[in-house]
Amino acid sequence: MSTPANEPAARLKRRRRLPEEARREALASARRLLIEAGPKAVTLNAVGKQIGVTHATLIHHFGSAAGLQSALMGSMIADLTDALAETAVQLRSDAGAPRALTDSVFDAAGPGGAGRLAAWIALSGDLEHLEPIRAAVIHVVDAIQEKFSDAGEGARDRVAAAVLFMALCAFGDAIIGGPLRGMLGRDEDSAREIVAGLLPTFLA
């Protein structure tokens, strides 16, 4: 009675963004959803709702749902490679302490959600999206080698081994580190300490 049968659904005023801005917001929202609620929560409706836009608008900007997902992967991979590049720069300039290096790699994989994203990509089978990482990884290997390789032959091989080792631990920790550390009664940065402690083995 007091409520009219067909309330016009309270449409708020339309806000017009620049295309780049709209894409930025959408990707940020999608990333949040991916990290907090998992891959299946990254949907056109969910993303659109978060930034106050209909799903049709997202299709307009990204072409399709797959286009949005692809852009999301690209964006996060870009952040990851940036982080790795930054690590390489720091290594070349000054502090190459094992713990600092370890933290760089773990921070690249963990907090930004890159580790979870990489796992999603790997599970989905879209391995092409991981390809941009290659250059960044090699870059880091170069930087470490430049810094640490006082020892001559076989140095690059040992550095590559060290990077593989660090990366596996960092990704593993990003994905199942929480539960696993819980089971073993170990605290938050236990894995970082372990890795940092083992690093010198490779570089001496």
Residues that bind a second copy (CB under 8 A): 37-40, 116, 118-120, 122-125, 127, 130, 133-134, 137-138, 141, 160-161, 163-165, 167-173, 175-181, 183-186, 190-191, 194-195, 198, 201
Query: What is the DSSP code (8-state) at residue 129?
Result: G
Considering beta carbons, is residue 170 or 203 the nearer one to a second copy?
Answer: 170
Considering beta carbons, is residue 97 or 164 the nearer one to a second copy?
Answer: 164
- Choose the contact partner of 172 out of DNA, a second copy, none; CB within 5 to 8 A by kind: a second copy
> Is 54 an interacting residue with respect to DNA (CB under 7 A)?
yes
Q: Using alpha carbons, select from 200, 202, 195, 199 the residue that is nearest to residue 107.
A: 195
CB of 176 to DNA, least distance (A): 24
CA distance 3 to 121: 48
- Contacts with DNA by CB under 7 A: the residue count is 27
CA distance 86 to 132: 15
> Is 19 an interacting residue with respect to DNA (CB under 7 A)?
yes
Neighbours of 137 (CB within 10 A): 18
Largest CA distance in the chain: 87
Q: Which of 24, 28, 50, 59: binder of DNA (CB under 7 A)?
A: 59
CA distance 89 to 130: 22
Q: Using alpha carbons, select from 40, 42, 36 the residue that is nearest to residue 67.
A: 42
Helix axes 155-172, 98-109, angle to 10 degrees: 50
Site string for DNA, 60-99 (x = CB under 7 A): xx--xxx---------------------------------
Contacting residues toward DNA, per CB under 7 A: 9, 11, 13-19, 22, 43-46, 48, 52-57, 59-61, 64-66
